[in-house]
Structure 1
Amino acid sequence: MPQEQQLVSGAAGRVTLDGYSWRQAAHWVHGAGLYVATHGPRFGETTLRLVEVLAELTPCRPTIAYLMRRLGCSRRTVQYHLGILRSTGLLAWRSIGTRLPMTEGQKRVESLASEYERLIPVSYDQALGIRTAGEGLERRMVGISEEGRTIIAELGKKAATKPRRVCRTVRHKSIGRPVKNPRCTPMVGGTTHYLSSPSVGDQKTTGGARVEKSATRKKRPARPTGERRRTVLGQVVTAAMMAAGDRMAQVAYRRVPWVRRASHDQLRWVLNDIADRGWGPERAVAWLAEIAGQYGAGALWRPERPHALIAHALRQETEQDAYDQQLRQDVAARVEPMDNAAMRELAGLAGLFALMDTPGPNPESGPAEETLAQAHWAPRTVVAAIDDDVDAAIDRYGIDLVARYAGLAANPNVQIGVR
């Protein structure tokens, strides 16, 4: 395949953020025999192990040294199998790694690793009868043929099973020499257990020595029957919510760089509450930009667990909204109605002393536009007025504006100043 088609700009496949679906496509390419090696290694178990490693990375930006350590292979072998994945359309370069000088005059160089995009080849969609919607790399699966359902179920079983590591060691047969001391047990695999028959059902045999299963592995507690999954804020998860969260996660992964250390499933899960509000992807991206500005994410630091930061921001926003609502109710309770006995007595005294020409307070009228503009450009004056006299501040700026700035002043993450 030409190098132009191995770049994202020239690729014909569709981008997938789900590592499980990508592993299914890789097993199909392996079984279909689409790659014919002219030289070097073939598409085999080592390639599938490389697929397993790359499916875990978000973003997919591994170094060659990291892949060598994970696979236990040489540099040349790793490069060969990366080339196999690019040639079959399963992988494409988003940016090609380089080695550049850090500054002028320095001999040290900085290695910039290549960043890849995981792709589903067009031949895979055609063979399984997968219907897609959209255009270009952003196509998404919307249906599949009946024949394809059977094939994809088999591919799912293969994708769920980790490929075995290819053993390159040479085994020599025993020549059957007699043992001088019958009390000694052969050392096999670093253990001194006695020899056993391989017919034992609950034990594994390795080289004739019995190795018992570990009894220290703890099982994850199962979810109680009938309990439905819930979001970060405790909302019941629905299919429509998951679909909207999936679209938001795809858009956020492409347009918000600091969230790319989270997996697609983690990002979709924390965005389900945003989808439940009826927001679109554009508004979700704008909200993530507000989080970045509030916490300095992406500029001052890059979160290791972006989904945890988003979940924290969701909870903080919910708590702040509840606090603002309670504050608004408390402030409203402190404002006495204008038709009480005191106001009627005041009106009677005004009539007695002929003060009716002076217009009384009108509770229905809001603050003047000039006052609102002044509060908008100098919010610290509103906070100072609230600290001096809440009732006077309500009369001047209105209850909604007072409740808003009182809530902002109580938030330790917000600093109110003069523009």
Structure 2
Amino acid sequence: MPTTHQWLHTTTGRITTCAHSWMQAVHWVHGSGIYTSPHTDGPRAMNDTTLAIAQEISALKECRPGIAYLARKTKVSERSVKYHLRMLREAGLLVYRSKGTRVRGEGNQASVYERTIPTVFDTALGIRTTGEGVQRRPVGAAPEHRPLLGKLAKKAARKTRRRPRRTPVSGRTRCTPMQVGTSGTSSADRTYSPPESKLASGPSKSPTPKKSNRGPRTLNKVGRRYQFGKEAVTTIPWLHGASVPRVSWVLKDFSDAGWTVREVQAVAESIPMPAHGVRRPSGMLADRLRGKAGMTATMRAGYVTMWEESRAAAKDRHTGFDDAPVAGPRSLAARRAIDEAFAAIREHLAPGNAPVDESPLALEDLTKQQVVDMRVDAMKNPSLIFLAIEMRGEVYARRLYTNRLVDQTLALEAINARRDTLAPAF
């Protein structure tokens, strides 16, 4: 079909009704051999690549195939795709609805096609149509051509696969016994099978066993980063449960610089840890180590020393707290506050401040407001709690004044007694 007839408004074919009927026409043109390329470049006739490209075009909802898309799907070059699209147009199977454009500074626009069936196909298979122009529709077929239409329908339903490219055989002569043209003096033409006596089982172990030269596996840079990240997640307590790949990515520069996990922990914990805990460990690790990958070994050693000393001091404080004598706080303000608190407790515990009404009451006889008032009085005068414990027992006192008030009062009493015991005698 000439170039002037490869447009929708000039073609003599009809627009196909479905992709299946269009593939029937493609297989018929391919099998009949009526098309031969008049060009000197490209394939001379349609082949399996043409069918594969046509199958990809038939699957498109909008017939707007890109050259790069078809090349990627069929695994051929873009030049081959252009050749086969040209053959489909010249065979009357594709016509332009709008041709693609290439405008400098703007994106290239792909051509929009219409899948058409040429008139020669309808004539050869006796297909009757109705309508005019490209909008003709098939209404029947000649009975003698229906078996051929059935075969074309089966071909159109199958998925076309391109044949693998054959690798050319080397021009060298094959050194095999069956090779024609080899030298007659070759020892290969006198091969024979060994006798049965030579087929007996040999020794269980080879006299020359193979030596494995494979040593321990050497990690590359990426492997060392993952190993370093996994060690950090396992060793540092607040990194437990963090993503190893994410921590490895955060510590990649530190792994490449030769840091140790102990140095990373010492630098990261040089700032006090938050009291509420760490919610996103990898984020806090990245924030605390930002810009510190270039630290020298001496600076890192100093951080480790300070970190170890601070941890040892914290351990000594927690370990010897119960056994060491209580010397009291060093701050004058704290000592003054403690003295005032103890003075208030002594004043409340004095015999003259005891309540006049010492008769215990049953909890069932008290109203809710009375219980609230008694608890407020107990907060102001702790001697009421001791009086309730002495007269009705600790269980009654805890029910009446709550466990918190009773525990606070008993703790203050214990501190007061311990302070009096350890106070120096003058």
User: Relative to total residues, which structure has the larger helix share, 1 or 2?
Assistant: 2
Q: Scaled by the length of structure 2, what TM-score is found?
A: 0.39
Q: Scaled by the length of structure 1, what TM-score is found?
A: 0.39
- Bigger radius of gyration, 1 or 2? 2
